[in-house]
């Protein structure tokens, strides 16, 4: 068995994907700063660390499941920790289960510091992670990602920090989650042909390439309109409009997605990375706006 370096293990958990889970929590921390006094920041940071562990467990679990089902092969895009022979399936499965166990224990600790609602939110997240591969193969992956990386972490973070179940934070979860889902969606668009070979059915396959491109465009452009409407209605601070500074990259991503019509999968091979960068930029700008609003209030 090959001896692995620390760098190998870091590659295995795909840390470059972590903004997808970290940003909803960070935006929620900005929301707490803007609207809540007496926030328990230790709980907030704890929630951030825990979702990163949870995300790493989900990444490795999904890689193992995809490889076992024949979805990931030598000629597919994406993670190559198994297809390249860097790790054995058993090693990735063991890593995944270990990370899931650690994140579950950490979650229990945070639950004991807060209350029962966090237990239900955490159990929902674990179910999403475990069932995600199966649901993704049945065209429900986009929905699961929105629940696991938008609705649950924002609600859980605000509760952990304030002790209040505040569904209003979902007004911020929607735009951030939309771009997060776009990361998965453009991956599934790119992989339609190889996914079909593996006899699975993603949402992108269900609606077809043409509709998938336009759905992607909506997912990365609609968040700006959403934030504007929410700010105009007084639901979020006007400073949230700082997120508009990410509009040009979003527009560039939308234009890149349209290249699929002529260039096929190869023309959007880097779109997932570009979308992840967009999500990072949009979320940090949104958080900055919330922090400024909190300072000025």
Which pLDDT tens digits describe the chain residue by residue (297 residues)? Answer: 568 888 888 888 888 888 889 999 999 999 999 999 889 999 999 999 999 998 899 889 888 887 776 666 555 555 667 777 788 888 888 999 999 999 999 999 999 999 999 999 999 988 988 888 788 888 898 999 999 999 999 999 999 999 999 999 999 999 999 999 999 999 899 988 877 877 778 899 999 999 999 999 999 999 999 999 999 999 999 999 999 999 999 999 999 999 999 999 889 988 998 999 999 999 999 999 999 999 998
DSSP letter for 148, please: I
Burial class (CB in 10 A: 0-12, 13-18, 19+), 282: buried
Is residue 2 domain-resident? Answer: no
By the 8 A CB rule, do 14 and 92 touch?
no
SS3 176: helix
Per-residue confidence (pLDDT) for residue 80, from 0 to 100: 66
> E strand or H helix at 24, and its extent?
helix 19-35
Classify residue 201 by its DSSP letter.
B
Domain that holds residue 198: 17-296
Tokens coding 109: 């600790």
Q: With contact defined as beta carbons under 8 Å apart, do 202 and 139 qualify?
A: yes
Q: What is the CATH number of the domain that holds 131?
A: 1.10.600
Q: Which residue do the tokens 């992670």 mark?
A: 129
Residue 6 located in a structural domain: no
Of 116, 11, 134, nearest in space to 65 by CA: 134
The per-residue pLDDT for 19 is 87
CA distance 225 to 3: 50
Q: What is the pLDDT of residue 7?
A: 85
The residues that bridge with 30 in the sheet, in sequence order, are none
Residue 16 C-beta-side C-alpha neighbours within 13 Å = 12
Encoding tokens for residue 231? 């700010």
Question: Is position 290 within any domain?
Answer: yes
pTM of the model: 0.89
Residues with Cβ < 8 Å from 238, sequence gap 6 or more?
A: 231, 293
pLDDT score, position 70? 67
pLDDT at residue number 242? 97
Residue 5, domain member (yes or no): no
Structural domains of the chain, count: 1
Q: Is residue 33 part of a domain?
A: yes
Residues 6+ apart with CB under 8 A from 273: 16
Within-domain flag for 3: no
Residue 112 lies in a domain: yes
Query: Quick one: tokens of 295?
Result: 């300072």
- pLDDT score of 79: 62
Q: For residue 12, tell me if it sits in a domain.
A: no
Please list the alpha-helical segments (H only) found in 69-169: 89-113, 116-136, 141-146, 152-162
Among 142, 131, 108, smallest CA distance to 211 is for 142
Alpha helices (H) along the chain: 6-12, 19-35, 41-68, 89-113, 116-136, 141-146, 152-162, 170-190, 192-197, 203-232, 247-258, 260-263, 271-296
Say how far apart CA 58 and CA 185 lie, in whole Å. Answer: 17
């Amino acid at each position: 068995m090959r001896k692995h370096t620390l760098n190998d293990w870091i590659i295995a958990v795909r840390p470059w994907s972590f903004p997808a889970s970290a940003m909803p929590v960070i935006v929620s921390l900005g929301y707490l700063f803007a609207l809540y006094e007496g926030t328990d920041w230790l709980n907030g940071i704890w929630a951030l660390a825990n979702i990163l562990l949870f995300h790493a467990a989900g990444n490795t679990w999904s890689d193992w499941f995809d490889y076992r089902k024949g979805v990931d092969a030598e000629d597919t895009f994406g993670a190559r920790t198994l297809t390249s022979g860097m790790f054995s399936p058993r090693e990735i499965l063991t890593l995944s289960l270990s990370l899931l166990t650690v994140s579950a224990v950490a979650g229990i600790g945070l639950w004991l510091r807060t209350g029962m609602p966090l237990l239900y939110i955490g159990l929902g997240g674990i179910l999403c992670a475990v069932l995600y591969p199966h649901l993704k193969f049945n065209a429900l992956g986009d929905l699961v990602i929105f629940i696991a990386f938008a609705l649950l972490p924002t609600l859980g973070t605000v509760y952990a920090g304030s002790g209040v179940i505040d569904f209003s934070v979902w007004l911020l979860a929607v735009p951030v989650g939309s771009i997060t889902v776009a990361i998965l969606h453009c991956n599934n668009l790119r992989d339609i042909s190889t996914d079909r070979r593996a006899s699975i059915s993603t949402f992108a396959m269900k609606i077809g390439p043409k509709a998938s491109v336009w759905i992607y465009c909506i997912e990365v452009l609609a968040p700006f309109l959403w934030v504007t409407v929410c700010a105009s209605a007084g639901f979020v601070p006007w400073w949230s409009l700082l997120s508009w500074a990410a509009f040009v990259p979003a527009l560039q991503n939308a234009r890149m997605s349209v290249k699929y019509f002529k260039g096929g999968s190869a023309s959007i091979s880097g779109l997932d990375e570009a979308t992840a960068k967009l999500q990072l930029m949009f979320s940090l700008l949104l958080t900055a706006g919330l922090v400024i609003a909190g300072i000025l209030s």
